[in-house]
Structure 1
């Protein structure tokens, strides 16, 4: 806030520069998990959005010339209103600031929904959220891709569902290499997989599975997986949207090379593809959109990347008025809250210090030194802006609260080594309650994630979609995987070749000269392992049919 002196008078005034809206925020995209005091800047190197911003003189009759109509200014600001401070003790506010009590968020009316089925079968539930339209596209494009490569695949729906079942099994029954699932070695073999599909057939399907026609490629970096997100969004949009939803980013883990791979410091998954998501508090994702720069399929509102993501997801999901949105400081701006108010949505989110503009709050570094639980707030028009001191300084803006109210929260006191009760603003409590939907879905997916990998860059998205249609229950995923193999798998007509490891283990036991005794099995005659004749005797340790006269020769030669 520079200070200037006018030449024709002795008046000294502070000029406040309000930056223009963040229209090109994607050029400097950064992690959304920063606190207010971590986002700093250098006042000696101001960006163009600050230098081109609108300037005015607060608390003064002097006015600067109005900017032209085509000059972009701040799309939303907060007027100079008295800021109230609240102690973190049990004191109550006696003279709260006045708000516009006539304004109310429209009442939430649940959308009527016909589920279309009433089955409790886990497979039916899975196939509902991994729709038939997506499976049909996978069948058609996989066979087409094989033909383009000069191969004959002839993939059927039963084989595709069996293929899905094997992928799901790899999520909770992991082996170092996928081929070990078909091994005869007792420590790694999986009879359910071996009895459902041959290993070579699985490899053929995995090398040819596709979602698009490669002859119709476009400039979209996510061209190969667009049908995947389209069909999943179509089926998810059929589910009624809950009253409280959260907007956040998900990460699909990927360590290869791709232009859309992102790095977010401090996230459980730091490297991978970023997916903008709209999810309910229970973890159900209603809308998802991959972040691919200029090819991201979301409307550009002119309010910046964060607001465009929130408003774009709301439009694509056809969110009805009255729904309450929660978003972190990557998305929240004052202009977003104003736009959400105009559209009839509730909006609550944390804010960065750089987005507060002319809000007269105490600096985060100074406010951090106050006792835990202290708060200051400002009520203006339809917005309530609150700054609260917890483990770090938190700033929240909401259009759903008409007055500043507080509740109690428990925090650990290091000095007393006990739990203390501190005052907590009601809007922050609501934010903590409803914000974690996207993170909850990430937790569901990561627990039993498909472990079979591929060198194809889009394979993580394909396998992630299968886990996204699952529930957070090991028993549910096991039931789905085993039922798919039993219903749609085909048992091989003959047994495959034994592995070299199995032969080596058998030979080590055969020649150890310990506790090998012939015994009468009492069963039908079998072929002697040494001479091929019929016998009812066998080695009790090796479990191999042997004549008594062939017993010594088999264990020594």
Structure 2
């Protein structure tokens, strides 16, 4: 979540309608600029100097979470916590897939057909005309947006202009067709699938398709839960404002991830209608219910460890997870662990960097460690303790040199396993699809397209490295490869040998036939040319391809009258 999770004891913590689609405008809103994420590890083990403040923003629209405390300090004793051991017999066999197969497992051919079907339905409902979108066009639409994330021009129209034209994008779809498909893209029926409880019902089928594939993945022993932001500045009831985040406006997406950044489950925050267990929410609070919701697919009693930051951490949450056979480790806010008899803040200020103290709950289920680095930080764990410690290097400003200090084991374990969601978010931010649209559905769909590409690349990279592959594509090359795959899959050639029959070339379209009856058109009576003043000039009815504002009063068609080309005369004299 944030670059620094330190908690100081003396620090005070404060507790739609669619827009008109068919004008092809992509300049309605300021662009969402991709800011380079300057994120460090969750705790400052590898950071020389970290004085940044906490990233837990004051949320004016959300009630402060219930404070979970242990009132009786006698429940805790100062002694070393015995770290558990993991009998990790899990073996991950690499998949012998091609690079594009990792992407196809998330978005199969059937999904593109669904997009085409509901996009056509939506266009028909809005305009009473046929769009005739096909699954191949949706593939090309996705390919264009994946490539746009690589090039990242400031305006979408620039990809088709003469001065800035990028053929790899412009040759896939015409500009107007691209904007029309992008603005109309749907995967649900607006008239039949509307839901009063699910605020994301317009994109729910696509989210379910992605999530079904994620749920088939093996769960590693170390998993983390964190939040990522889906950028959106438009209007929506669940849009959040996070002033201290790189992306301040958007939807909050809670994710379950591996240390490598592979997202295994997610849930978008919808306020009071977020689909979590209401009994857990009533018994504990919203954050505990979210963690419980994301842990449903984790096997019980198999030494799985969940890592969370201090936004989620509470003693009640860790005890609840432990009762369900899941261990947990996380940084904690000092106001949630007031019952633990930590050293007084005045005495703590006198201690040197590297000092730590550890308390264990009376039933030996939880460990609480407070460690001093740049600032004091508190960690709670049902799996790790402070020992064995290790030595880490730190820069001291006063001495102007680096020195080794003692670091508890729980801090090292937390740093190694916590940053999975942030890592995936960084991959997305590097080549984010910079869609400029006021439609929240478009923003969300292409965010999850980015997430799918990042997930597929992570799986491809892990499997390729495990089989000794040396020429592994980076994320930039992988995105281009997936775009080429989507385009090439729309250009299927017929199987078998070439036919010996002569190739029939398609005939050119004849010029438009005369709309007026020949007897009336060629009667040579009362065909007076009239100049018509109107905003746009119609094309010449004689088929020359030019525009004219001169109209035949009798025939009612527009015709050219020029020195070098008299279509008016030809139209009324030639058959």
TM-score by length of structure 2 reads 0.66
> Which residue of 1 is the match for residue 251 of structure 2?
273
Of 423, 429, 449, which aligns to 1:446? 429
Q: 1:367 to 1:75 in 2, by over 3 A?
A: closer
Contact 2:69 2:338 in 1 (8 A): no
Contact 1:290 1:296 in 2 (8 A): yes
Q: 1:402 to 1:408 in 2, by over 3 A?
A: closer
Question: Offset at 1:179?
Answer: 2.4
Q: Does 1:455 align with 2:432?
A: no
> Which residue of 2 is the match for residue 290 of structure 1?
268
Contact 1:31 1:264 in 2 (8 A): no
Q: 1:112 to 1:448 in 2, by over 3 A?
A: closer
Q: CA RMSD in A?
A: 3.0
> Which residue of 2 is the match for residue 207 of structure 1?
183
Structure 1 Cα separation of the partners of residues 348 and 296 of structure 2: 38
Of 74, 77, 84, which aligns to 1:80? 74
SS at match of 2:228: strand
Contact 1:83 1:376 in 2 (8 A): no
Structure 1 Cα separation of the partners of residues 91 and 190 of structure 2: 39
Question: Offset at 1:281?
Answer: 0.2
Structure 2 Cα separation of the partners of residues 83 and 210 of structure 1: 58
Alignment of 1:140-159 (within 5 A): 140-149=117-126, 150-159=128-137
Structure 2 Cα separation of the partners of residues 41 and 434 of structure 1: 28
Q: 1:181 to 1:312 in 2, by over 3 A?
A: same
SS at match of 1:169: helix
> Which residue of 1 is the match for residue 211 of structure 2?
233
* The 10-residue stretch of structure 1 (241-250 or 314-323) with the greater mean CA deviation from structure 2: 314-323
> Which residue of 2 is the match for residue 479 of structure 1?
481
Contact 1:193 1:485 in 2 (8 A): no
Contact 1:166 1:193 in 2 (8 A): yes
Question: Offset at 1:466?
Answer: 1.2
> Which residue of 2 is the match for residue 394 of structure 1?
377
> Which residue of 1 is the match for residue 226 of structure 2?
248
Name the one with the larger strand percent.
1
> Which residue of 2 is the match for residue 60 of structure 1?
none
Structure 1 Cα separation of the partners of residues 484 and 342 of structure 2: 59
Post-superposition Cα deviations, 1:60-106, rounded to whole Å, max 9, x if no partner, equal: xxxxxxxxxxxxx969666516764xxxxxxxxxxxx265x6x9577
SS at match of 2:146: helix
SS at match of 2:296: helix
Of 353, 361, 378, which aligns to 1:372? 353
Q: Does 1:110 align with 2:96?
A: no
Q: Does 1:188 align with 2:172?
A: no
Question: Offset at 1:398?
Answer: 0.7
> Which residue of 2 is the match for residue 47 of structure 1?
none
Structure 1 Cα separation of the partners of residues 72 and 331 of structure 2: 16
Question: Offset at 1:221?
Answer: 2.1
Question: Offset at 1:475?
Answer: 0.8
> Which residue of 1 is the match for residue 544 of structure 2?
none
Question: Offset at 1:175?
Answer: 2.6
Contact 1:105 1:346 in 2 (8 A): no
Of 394, 406, 415, which aligns to 1:423? 406
Contact 1:105 1:345 in 2 (8 A): no
Question: Offset at 1:139?
Answer: 2.3
Contact 2:70 2:338 in 1 (8 A): no
Q: Does 1:354 align with 2:335?
A: yes
SS at match of 1:420: strand
Q: Does 1:35 align with 2:22?
A: no
Question: Offset at 1:355?
Answer: 0.8
Of 338, 347, 360, which aligns to 2:319? 338
* The 10-residue stretch of structure 1 (358-367 or 391-400) with the greater mean CA deviation from structure 2: 358-367
Structure 2 Cα separation of the partners of residues 194 and 245 of structure 1: 41
Structure 1 Cα separation of the partners of residues 348 and 77 of structure 2: 14
Aligned length: 414
Q: 1:190 to 1:487 in 2, by over 3 A?
A: farther
SS at match of 2:74: coil
Q: Does 1:124 align with 2:96?
A: no
In structure 2, stretches of 5+ residues that fail to align are 16-65, 458-473, 493-505, 507-575
Contact 1:287 1:317 in 2 (8 A): no
Contact 1:195 1:489 in 2 (8 A): no
> Which residue of 2 is the match for residue 437 of structure 1?
420
In structure 1, stretches of 5+ residues that fail to align are 1-29, 43-52, 54-72, 85-96, 494-557
